[in-house]
Amino acid sequence: MVFTALTLELVLVGIALLFLISIVANKFSERLGVPALLIFLVVGMLAGSEGPGGIPFDDPAIAQLIGIIALAYILFSGGLDTRWDQIQPVLWPGIALSTLGVVLTAALLGAFAVLVLGFSPLTGFLLGAVVSSTDAAAVFSVLRMARARLKGNLRPFLEFESGSNDPMAVLLTTGIIALILTPGSSLFDLVPMFVQQMAVGGLLGYGLGRFTVWLINRIKLESEGLYPVLTLAMVLLVYGLTTIVGGNGFIAVYIAGLVIGNSVVVHKKSLILFYGGIAWLMQILMFLALGLLVFPSQLASAFVPGLLAALFLILIARPVAVLITLLPWKMPMNEKALVSWVGLRGAVPIILATYPLVAGVPDADVIFNVVFFIVLVSALVHGTSIPSVARWLGLAAPLEETGKLSREFEVDPDTPSELLELVIPAGASAVGKQVVDLGLPKGTLIILMQKGDERFVPVGSTVIGAADTLLLLTTDEMTGTVRACLLNCEEPRNVTVSPHLPESFSCMAIIEIDPERAEPDQPVAFRGSATVSGDCAATVSGMAWNFGDGANGEGETVSHAYAAAGTYTVTLAVTLSDGIVCRATTDVTVVDPREPGSSPAGITTSGNLFPGGADIQDD
């Protein structure tokens, strides 16, 4: 009994160490730009029977079971956190890429394996089928890192493709295995099977998703903590029931998550946060198990065919499949190029590579080792280069700022509310005023305030000071008005009011900055301009700048370096020849690169019109 207990404790300690090592290694992988899946796979290999860990594990069936369950939860989490309005514009090209694109990729790589690598026809096309789909876990992980933010609908498009292309890869893999083990069967038998799997999976995913929404909102559990447990059971039910009746469980759980995430559900915020953690847990568990299944000594023989197959897949098969599939849609060539490059292979190909092992297909071990090597190359090449390629193609989106106060809050996605965090500059009109005198728009609330190191909820008599940080709850339509109420500099005294302005007159000040990512003591170039339209012949007579840190400047083009990290509100006052002043404000975030987890902010500019002069002095 003592030995058994000691052995159990050692097993628990070993499992805990594997998870801890994976988590710590993932922290360093983010700084190095290496995808998490590669770190988890390497940790699993090192812990295996041929590594320092020495853990004996050689059961493809168990690894396959772990991978299927983990992938189901990862897909559900991805659907839960995806907005339908992002998916809708890319629905049909995404479906085309997840079906026809997968078939073309499998056919091209299969032909390469037969003609160049010397595989038999069915074995070569089985290899192509196994690695034909992109991996949802890998794509979600890489694209949701701050370094890989993409413009427009590219991220939802790529995530939708990766979440919906597994059924075709599974169908091709199981169909070709059946052709190998059952001589005389036809490849055309796969067509009705595919239609059935997609139709049943889609219908049951939607239906059971709607049922889950109804159940969560009606069951009224005593503890909020039971709602995530309820959905854990529903994910398994959706996958298992769909598979039993002949549908594809993967597409069903993804659609169910999409339905729940885009419905009004109680405790949705806690569910999304919970499944964010579950997705990471499943990724670690899945990649560790698949890493344990690999024997590094057998990978040497797969080096040459694996490297050649990976390069062909990355440089030829995936791009050709993408270009042919997306011909009916008018998509810019740089976007097609990025879609071609984001062809990450990860857990799904390795899981599918266990199917031939479990079924006893000849040369199944060769296929598994080649597939594993392809995944390693894809993780190294794709996972580390996507942010750089996106910037080179002009498709990288500005990095989002996570404010110091707003990190602790999250707005319900089903409401039109929005959190706005502002640092009050020294020259702002709000300085010295009580909260009750700010004149904020109706429906806007200051929910948290920071003075120095003290954080509190302000009351009506609280006085706003320079460098205070305010966290406001407002709407997207009112953010410009709120900024104007709090950040605009006071108008100077003894200013002659300009005459009545014609209704058709408009003036807009514009701020441009370079670079967008600033660090302390790094010069930032500001360029101002203004557009005047309507019944006005005025011209620009002067430009005055307030950089938000107490410094000022004048001129169309100015340069300023910030001494410390923080968010600064820059104000531009463009004075016209008839005394009219156009103003614009821009939030600029200066980030200390030594601070962990810091990221520069996106820049938002709003302009408005003021009669009178500008009271901004030069440095």
- Read off the pLDDT of residues 33-50 as tens digits, 9 standing for 90 and up: 566 677 777 777 777 777
Classify the C-alpha dihedral 302-304-308-314 as positive or negative.
positive
**Long-range pairs for 174-181: beta carbons < 8 A, 24 or more residues apart:** 174/355, 175/129, 176/122, 176/125, 176/126, 176/129, 177/126, 177/355, 177/356, 177/359, 177/361, 179/122, 180/122, 180/123, 180/126, 180/361, 180/362, 181/359, 181/360, 181/361
Region 474-483 average pLDDT:
75
Residue 604 clears pLDDT 60, i.e. is over it:
no
The SS3 of residue 191 is helix
Mean pLDDT of the chain: 78
Residue 323 clears pLDDT 90, i.e. is over it:
yes
Tokens 């919906």 map to which residue? Answer: 164
| Count of C-beta atoms within a 10 Å radius of residue 325 | 22
Q: Quote the pLDDT of residue 214.
A: 93
| Count of C-beta atoms within a 10 Å radius of residue 4 | 8
Cα–Cα dist 225/218, whole Å: 16
Q: Quote the pLDDT of residue 568.
A: 79
| Count of C-beta atoms within a 10 Å radius of residue 533 | 10
- Model pLDDT for residues 291-300, shown as the tens digit of each residue: 787 777 777 7
Q: Quote the pLDDT of residue 484.
A: 73
Q: Quote the pLDDT of residue 129.
A: 92
Residue 3 clears pLDDT 50, i.e. is over it:
no
Q: Quote the pLDDT of residue 492.
A: 35
**Token pair listed for 411:** 């707005």
Region 300-309 average pLDDT:
88
Q: Quote the pLDDT of residue 598.
A: 45
Tokens 């790529």 map to which residue? Answer: 158
Region 591-610 average pLDDT:
46
DSSP string computed for 521-551: T-EEEEEEEEEEESS----EEEEEEE-SSS-
- Model pLDDT for residues 136-170, shown as the tens digit of each residue: 766 766 666 645 567 777 888 888 888 778 778 88
Q: Quote the pLDDT of residue 137.
A: 66
Contact (Cβ atoms closer than 8 angstroms) between residue 387 and residue 148: yes
Cα–Cα dist 51/558, whole Å: 59
Tokens 């050709």 map to which residue? Answer: 320
Secondary structure letter of residue 220 according to DSSP: -
Helix (H) or strand (E) holding 513: strand 506-514
Q: What angle do CA 413, 416, 420 make, to 5 degrees?
A: 90
Establish how many alpha carbons lie within 13 A of residue 350's alpha carbon, considering only the half-sphere containing its beta carbon.
34
With cut-offs at 50, 70 and 90, classify the pLDDT of residue 104.
very high
The SS3 of residue 402 is coil
Q: Quote the pLDDT of residue 326.
A: 92
Region 113-134 average pLDDT:
91
Higher pLDDT, 200 or 412: 200
Structural domains of the chain, with CATH: 2-49+60-186+284-392 (1.20.1530.20), 406-487 (3.30.70.1450), 506-611 (2.60.40.10)
